[in-house]
């Protein structure tokens, strides 16, 4: 989060007292939208932990989601090296774009963003009718069956690697990753927790 010292370094004059703010999903990494903040909007965003912009159309502060309920909960906030642009990492509540898409830049999506979307679909299958999808059938079968599938796919991935078949290795790796996501959700764990563990080991 921006420190008081960093806030004091912001160059408001360069951009007419409005700083552009890039809004990025804190987990998926997808860029969601671009807005503008004046100092009051910045202070409100930091104090309330919800993104508030200055609307150039309405000529007033505007909290994203104030009418739709699709808020952007602030996770972190950074400035760029020139002190004239902000980056807000957020957890969106519902779609960000007024057109109903997750991003105002849809269909642009990062690879990590696709995994987050896939994880969301997998999570939604936990309470679904087992006859509705393969994922729902796995959840109905229970943890032992899901864990067994992860083991099977792990072995098949390893075998594909030993024969140096890139196409098969790619396919089996996709199967392994999918079943691992199912297992994580079965344990009420998100991919973000795994990524954070990897990040902590890298430091």
User: Does residue 98 form part of some domain?
Assistant: no
What's the longest Cα–Cα distance across the chain?
A: 64
Please list the residues that pair with 93 across neighbouring strands. Answer: none
Question: What CATH number has the domain bearing residue 196?
Answer: 1.10.287.1080
Task: Clarify whether residues 144 and 184 are in a common domain.
Answer: yes
Summarised one tens digit per residue, pLDDT across range 114-149 is 999 999 999 999 999 999 999 999 999 999 999 999
* Count of structural domains, the chain: 2
Residue 30 has pLDDT above 90, yes or no: yes
Whether 141 and 181 map to the same domain: the answer is yes
User: How sure is the predictor about 152, in pLDDT bands with cuts at 50, 70 and 90?
Assistant: very high
What is the tens place of the pLDDT at every residue in 38-93?
999 999 999 999 999 999 999 999 999 999 999 999 999 999 999 999 999 999 99
| CATH number of the domain encompassing residue 8 | 3.10.20.810
Let me know if residue 102 belongs to a domain. no
Q: Is residue 162 part of a domain?
A: yes
Query: What range does the domain containing 195 cover?
Result: 111-202
Is 66 in the same domain as 20?
A: yes
pLDDT band at 6 (very low <50, low <70, confident <90, very high): very high
87 phi/psi in degrees, rounded to 5: -125, 120
Q: What pTM does this model have?
A: 0.80
- Does position 203 have pLDDT exceeding 90, yes or no? no
104 part of a folded domain? no
For residues 87 and 136, membership in a common domain is answered with no
Where residue 109 falls among pLDDT bands split at 50, 70, 90? confident
- Which residues 6+ apart lie within 8 Å of 62 measured at CB? 52, 53, 54, 55
Q: Which pLDDT value is given to residue 34?
A: 98
Q: Is residue 85 domain-shared with residue 116, that is, in the same domain?
A: no
């Amino acid at each position: 989060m921006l420190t008081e010292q960093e806030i004091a370094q912001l160059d408001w004059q360069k951009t007419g007292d409005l700083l552009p703010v890039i809004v990025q999903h804190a987990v998926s990494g997808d860029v969601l939208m671009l807005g503008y903040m004046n100092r009051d909007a910045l202070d409100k965003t930091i104090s309330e932990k919800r993104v508030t912009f200055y609307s150039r159309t309405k000529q007033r502060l505007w909290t994203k989601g104030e009418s739709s309920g699709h808020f952007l909960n602030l996770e972190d906030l950074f400035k760029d090296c020139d002190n004239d642009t902000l980056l807000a990492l957020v957890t969106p509540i519902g779609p960000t774009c007024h057109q109903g898409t997750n991003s105002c830049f849809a269909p642009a999506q990062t690879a990590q963003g696709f995994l987050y979307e896939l994880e969301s679909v997998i999570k939604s299958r936990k309470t679904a009718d087992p006859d509705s999808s393969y994922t729902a059938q796995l959840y109905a079968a229970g943890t032992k069956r899901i864990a067994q599938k992860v083991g099977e796919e792990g072995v098949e991935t390893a075998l594909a690697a030993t024969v140096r078949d890139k196409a098969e290795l790619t396919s089996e790796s996709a199967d392994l990753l999918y079943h691992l996501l199912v297992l994580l959700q079965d344990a009420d764990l998100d991919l973000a927790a795994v990524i954070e563990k990897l990040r902590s080991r890298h430091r």
